[in-house]
Amino acid sequence: MIAARAVRASSDDPLSALEVGEGAEAPPPADWVRVTVRAAALNRHDLWSLQGVGLPADRLPMVLGCDASGVTDDGAEVVVHAVVSDPDFRGDETLDPRRTLLSELHPGTLAEVVHVPRRNLLPKPAGWSFELAASLGTAWLTAYRMLFTQARAVPGQTVLVQGAAGGVSNALVRLGVSAGLRVWVTGRDPGRLARAAAWGAHGTFETGRRLPERVDAVFETVGKATWKHSVQSLVPGGCIVVAGATTGGDPSALLENVFFRQLRVLGSTMGTRDEFARLLRYCEIGDLQAEVDSVHTLPDAHAAFARLASGRAVGKVIVTPTR
């Protein structure tokens, strides 16, 4: 089976830790379902894994990839939910202390075949391409939970998305605009800000620029490079929902601003199967699609990873097995 695997960890040169080639199909846990992958999507998570973040050496080699769509052995067309929780855990599976994402403990989706628990499969919406279905995994599910579960954003509010044209930013803008929010976006590059405007963002600003007025919620995945601006951009009582720190964590959390203006800082990670089902329905009803940056074949996965690592990708980088 061809797959893209992390074979070592390299914080300086993550692509050097990637190997793409034949390997044995790992025996799945009992009762898991075999899915022939038709499309998979890359995430920053895959680059973190190649850097050894969240993927200890004793689990290598590991097939990468969290998101996929495909076909089960009995012919059902499905979308894969990446959060694998303990089968005995009840409630919100993102809160299960033993939960993992595909590719952290169990082989991931950047392969010809992936095995998952049956409850991790959702029906692929009829009429959707496999590429479209795979592109709405991790990034869009994370954005959906940030907006609606954590921030509880309601129509008419003004929100700020830090980062213009990444996978999560694309989802935050499309979902937020569609839900009746006034969405402002910051970014480093005029071309990437123009993409956010084309997705419907109501205002775009250079990273760190003072906004015309304070916002009700900030969606933060950039980290150190934007955290100060995030804290300073909120109305009293506003919230920051933080799901990532691409530029690193910030030791200067501006705590005096947090308590004096009674801000709420809410962590967010992925989403539940139920949220994923609602997201897929929402996108179906609203005719919302992820921006697809590029589509690569699995044997050429190095090029897909290079594109993601370049920081120039707009939206999702997709990988399709060729046979």
Ligand X SMILES: NC(=O)c1ccc[n+]([C@@H]2O[C@H](COP(=O)([O-])OP(=O)(O)OC[C@H]3O[C@@H](n4cnc5c(N)ncnc54)[C@H](OP(=O)(O)O)[C@@H]3O)[C@@H](O)[C@H]2O)c1
Residues that bind ligand X (CB under 6 A): 43-45, 48, 138-139, 142, 163-169, 187-189, 192, 207, 221-222, 225-226, 243-244, 246-247, 269-270, 313
Q: How far is the CB of 232 from ligand X (least distance, A)?
A: 15
Q: How many residues belong to the chain?
A: 323
CA–CA gap between residue 110 and residue 21 (Å, rounded): 11
Cβ neighbour number for residue 322 with a 10 Å cutoff: 9
Angle, helices 273-286/167-178, rounded to nearest 10 degrees? 60
Q: How far is the CB of 72 from ligand X (least distance, A)?
A: 26
Residue 268: CA atoms inside 13 Å, Cβ hemisphere, count? 31
Q: How far is the CB of 125 from ligand X (least distance, A)?
A: 22
The residue (of 225 and 235) whose beta carbon lies closer to ligand X is 225
Of 58, 289, 256, 277, nearest to 173 by C-alpha is 289
The residue (of 135 and 158) whose beta carbon lies closer to ligand X is 135
Q: What is 176-224 written as a DSSP string? A: HHHTT-EEEEEES-HHHHHHHHHTT-SEEEETTPPPSS-EEEEEE-S-T
Of 115, 134, 187, 176, nearest to 151 by C-alpha is 176
The residue (of 33 and 133) whose beta carbon lies closer to ligand X is 133
The residue (of 3 and 270) whose beta carbon lies closer to ligand X is 270
The residue (of 33 and 319) whose beta carbon lies closer to ligand X is 319
Q: Are 291 and 283 in contact (CB under 8 A)?
A: no
Q: How far is the CB of 317 from ligand X (least distance, A)?
A: 8
The residue (of 103 and 138) whose beta carbon lies closer to ligand X is 138
The residue (of 17 and 165) whose beta carbon lies closer to ligand X is 165
Q: How far is the CB of 209 from ligand X (least distance, A)?
A: 12
3-class state of residue 159 by DSSP: strand
Q: How far is the CB of 137 from ligand X (least distance, A)?
A: 9
Residue, CB closest to ligand X: 166
3-class state of residue 98 by DSSP: coil
Cβ neighbour number for residue 277 with a 10 Å cutoff: 14
Task: Measure the CA dihedral 16/20/23/28, to 10°.
Answer: 90
Alpha helices in the chain, H assignment, sequence order: 44-50, 130-135, 138-144, 167-178, 190-198, 227-232, 255-260, 273-286, 301-310
The residue (of 270 and 298) whose beta carbon lies closer to ligand X is 270
Q: How far is the CB of 194 from ligand X (least distance, A)?
A: 11
Q: How far is the CB of 56 from ligand X (least distance, A)?
A: 18
